[in-house]
């Protein structure tokens, strides 16, 4: 069976995930990228995850899938970014193998637990939250182009997205990719996990069971301030734990994207939510796990902390109207830790 991979825009990748999930069974599959003329961070993560999950679901061996590219001039870029090996093909560099540059982060797979253990084995005692902060700083530095305020904001956004994964997904594996387009005045960070998904995570908390009854509702509630799987009305907020979850991460990310004239894409299960400065759109897709696409306009970032403070204050005011929500953002959600 021949399967055409479309131009890798976000909308195309979202549709492709659903199309591939519903694809009929065959003995051998030929994935054709001959017509792909662009590779963006979130579409690459979504598409590679869709192909991995497609193969796992059907117990396909590497020789059961083949890649066709017919001298596509963009093929070498995809190879360099690790897109093909992330998808399960043999072509190109492995995820994280490319060194990256001052304008992109190639597809990279991180395991927070493994990184933490490696630090311990090297004699470094470091809190997991501090470790994620440090890694986020390293990743943000790549895309910041020397812009100090942009670097701070990207570090904050990456940190909030990454630390959301082990707390909510049930996995410590994180896929990340990034790009800075100077001519577009645009920076994008994409982060994906293949854990339990937002719906399964939130409904595991009995405080949310009554009103979160389907996947779309879960996505809509997950971006509200203070809504978290960690919420427990009997315990309240854990102010003694600096890195304790407060349910503000996704809210802060999505609102900061809006405040900087960017946009936020939120994918989990069979739904995709795209949040723009003035509207929100829902699409049908299929992804085991959760992915976020974060886009900001660097020219709109003057004072990073002022943006964070503005969004956080609005969030805390809104959280007071939500019954099962933390009323105050955690210390990390209020800004950078270092």
Helix/strand/coil (H, E, C) string of 145-200?
CCCHHHHHHHHHHHHHHHHHHHHHCCCCEEEEEEEEEHHHCEEEEEEEECCCCHHH
Identify the CA nearest to 8 among candidates 31, 42, 54, 32. Answer: 42
pTM of the model: 0.95
CB atoms within 10 A of CB 205: 16
Q: Beta partners for 269?
A: 287
Report DSSP letters for 26-72, one per residue: -S-EEEE-TT---B-HHHHHHHHHHHHHHHHHTT--GGGEEEE-TT-
SS3 content of the chain, % helix, strand, coil (to 5): 40, 20, 40
Is 99-338 CATH 3.30.565.10? Answer: yes
Predicted confidence at residue 99, as pLDDT, reads 75
Given a contact cutoff of 8 angstroms between Cβ atoms, the answer to whether 83 and 109 are in contact is no
- Provide the pLDDT for residue 70: 80
What lies within 8 Å, CB to CB, of 185 at 6+ separation is: 297, 298, 299
pLDDT at 242: 54
Closest to 333 in 3D by CA, of 188, 162, 193, 159? 159
CB-based contact 303:221 (threshold 8 Å) = no
The whole-number pLDDT of residue 238 equals 56
Residue whose C-alpha is closest to residue 102's, from 152, 157, 59, 139: 139
> From first to last of its 338 residues, what are the pLDDT tens digits of the chain?
999 999 999 999 999 999 999 998 888 899 999 989 899 999 999 999 999 999 999 998 878 899 998 878 899 999 999 999 999 999 999 999 987 677 899 999 999 989 989 998 999 989 888 899 999 999 999 999 889 999 999 999 999 999 888 777 888 999 999 999 999 999 999 999 999 999 999 999 888 888 899 999 999 999 999 998 888 876 655 555 555 678 899 999 999 999 999 999 999 999 999 999 999 999 999 999 999 999 999 999 999 999 999 999 999 999 999 999 999 998 889 987 66
Catalogue the long-range contacts made by 221-225 (C-beta closer than 8 Å, 24 or more residues apart): 222/198, 222/250, 222/266, 223/250, 223/251, 223/254, 223/266, 223/273, 223/275, 224/251, 224/318, 224/319, 224/322, 224/325, 225/251, 225/252, 225/315, 225/316, 225/318, 225/319, 225/322, 225/325, 225/329
Walk across the sheet containing 280-296 and list its strands. 104-111, 173-181, 186-193, 280-296, 263-275
């Amino acid at each position: 069976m021949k399967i055409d991979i479309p131009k890798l825009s976000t909308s195309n990748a979202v549709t492709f995930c659903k199309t591939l999930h519903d694809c009929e069974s065959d003995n051998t599959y030929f994935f054709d990228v001959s017509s792909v003329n662009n590779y963006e961070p979130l579409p690459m993560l979504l598409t590679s995850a869709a192909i991995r999950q497609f193969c796992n679901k059907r117990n396909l061996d590497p020789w059961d899938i083949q890649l066709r590219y017919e001298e596509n001039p963009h093929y070498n870029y995809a190879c360099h970014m690790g897109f093909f090996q992330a998808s399960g093909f043999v072509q190109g560099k492995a995820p994280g193998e490319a060194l990256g540059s001052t304008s992109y982060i190639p597809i990279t797979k991180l395991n927070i637990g493994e990184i933490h253990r490696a630090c311990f084995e090297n004699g470094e005692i470091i809190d997991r939250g501090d470790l994620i902060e440090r890694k986020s700083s390293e990743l943000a530095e790549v895309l910041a182009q020397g812009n100090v305020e942009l670097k701070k904001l990207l570090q904050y956004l990456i940190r909030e997205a990454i630390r959301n994964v082990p707390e909510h997904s049930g996995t410590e594996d994180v896929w990340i990719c990034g790009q800075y387009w100077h001519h577009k005045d645009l920076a994008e960070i994409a982060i994906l996990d293949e854990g339990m998904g937002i719906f399964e995570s939130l409904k595991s908390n009995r405080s949310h069971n009554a009103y979160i009854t389907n996947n779309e509702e879960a996505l809509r509630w997950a971006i509200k301030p203070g809504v978290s799987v960690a919420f427990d009305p009997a315990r309240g907020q854990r102010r003694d734990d600096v890195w304790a979850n407060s349910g503000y991460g996704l809210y802060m990310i999505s609102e900061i994207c809006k405040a900087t004239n960017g946009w936020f894409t939120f994918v989990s299960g069979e739904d995709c939510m795209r949040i723009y400065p003035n509207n929100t759109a829902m699409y049908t897709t299929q992804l085991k796990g959760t992915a976020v696409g974060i886009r900001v306009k660097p020219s709109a970032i003057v004072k990073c902390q002022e943006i964070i403070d503005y969004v956080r204050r609005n969030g805390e005011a809104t959280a007071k109207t939500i019954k099962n929500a933390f009323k105050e953002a955690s210390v990390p959600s209020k800004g950078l830790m270092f």
